[in-house]
Amino acid sequence: DAGVTQSPTHLIKTRGQQVTLRCSPISGHKSVSWYQQVLGQGPQFIFQYYEKEERGRGNFPDRFSARQFPNYSSELNVNALLLGDSALYLCASSSGTADQPQHFGDGTRLSIL
Amino acid sequence: EDQVTQSPEALRLQEGESSSLNCSYTVSGLRGLFWYRQDPGKGPEFLFTLYSAGEEKEKERLKATLTKKESFLHITAPKPEDSATYLCAVRSGGGADGLTFGKGTHLIIQP
């Protein structure tokens, strides 16, 4: 079975631009979470969606937004990009039932010039 | 606020030299402690979930244990292919299922 897939794998943007990252969860998984991982740090939680509803939000500014579609895929949008937004953006999916582990994709490497 | 601290930050071992990685945590109502392995340029790969103090899980050369304040990842007779960054994360009580991660331990196994 396919794992979590993310696109694109790499992206270069300039300050002030907007970006959309995409994620397809493991088949049968209804929950998708987004994380930001800066070099040398652990992933930091941005959003979680379950059945198209936002279930949780981390400590990120309103420039970050997300949504989940009826097929459980998800998009993460970041507006007004800053240099500090350069990071690996990871998507994780889980079944959504209590306390099941999250399984991660290989991420989108976003570089801001 | 949930906190996870991993030590050491980096560890270099000879092949076959066993050791342990530490994950200390503070959380309001633990709903799970997770260990992941991350290779360069890849996403974290799930290894174990532990739910309550005293629980242990094993997989090949890895064994994870849990107490009320910390978790250990024991690596027995490691091989070079065990080289990776090992991440610890917790999920706490409340509605959101977001994980709080530590910074990881960068493990290098030399042949």
Please provide the distance, in angstroms rounded to a whole number, between the alpha carbons at the two ends of chain B: 41
> Which one of A37, A102, A108, A109 makes the best mutation probe of the B interface by having the most chain B beta carbons within 10 Å?
A102
How confident is the model at residue B92, as a pLDDT?
84
pLDDT digits (tens, 9 = 90+) for A45-76: 999 999 999 989 999 999 999 999 999 999 99
How confident is the model at residue A1, as a pLDDT?
66
Among the partner residues A31, A43, A55, nearest to B101 by beta-carbon distance: A43
How confident is the model at residue B96, as a pLDDT?
65
Tell me the shortest Cα–Cα distance from B109 to chain A, in angstroms: 19
The pLDDT confidence band at residue B95, using thresholds 50, 70 and 90, is low
Cβ-proximal residues to A6 (8 Å cutoff; 6+ apart), any chain = A21, A22, A23, A24, A89, A90, A91, A105, A106, A107, A108
Return the residue matching tokens 């530490």. Answer: B22
How confident is the model at residue A46, as a pLDDT?
97
How confident is the model at residue B53, as a pLDDT?
95
How confident is the model at residue B52, as a pLDDT?
93
Spell out which residues of chain B touch residue A101, defining contact as CB-CB under 8 Å: 32, 34, 46, 49
The pLDDT confidence band at residue A34, using thresholds 50, 70 and 90, is very high
Residue B97 pLDDT exceeds 80: no
Q: Do B43 and A48 touch (CB under 8 A)?
A: no
Residue A21 pLDDT exceeds 70: yes
Residue A67: CB atoms within 10 A of its CB come to 14
Among the partner residues B51, B99, B100, nearest to A102 by beta-carbon distance: B99
Q: Do A48 and B98 touch (CB under 8 A)?
A: yes
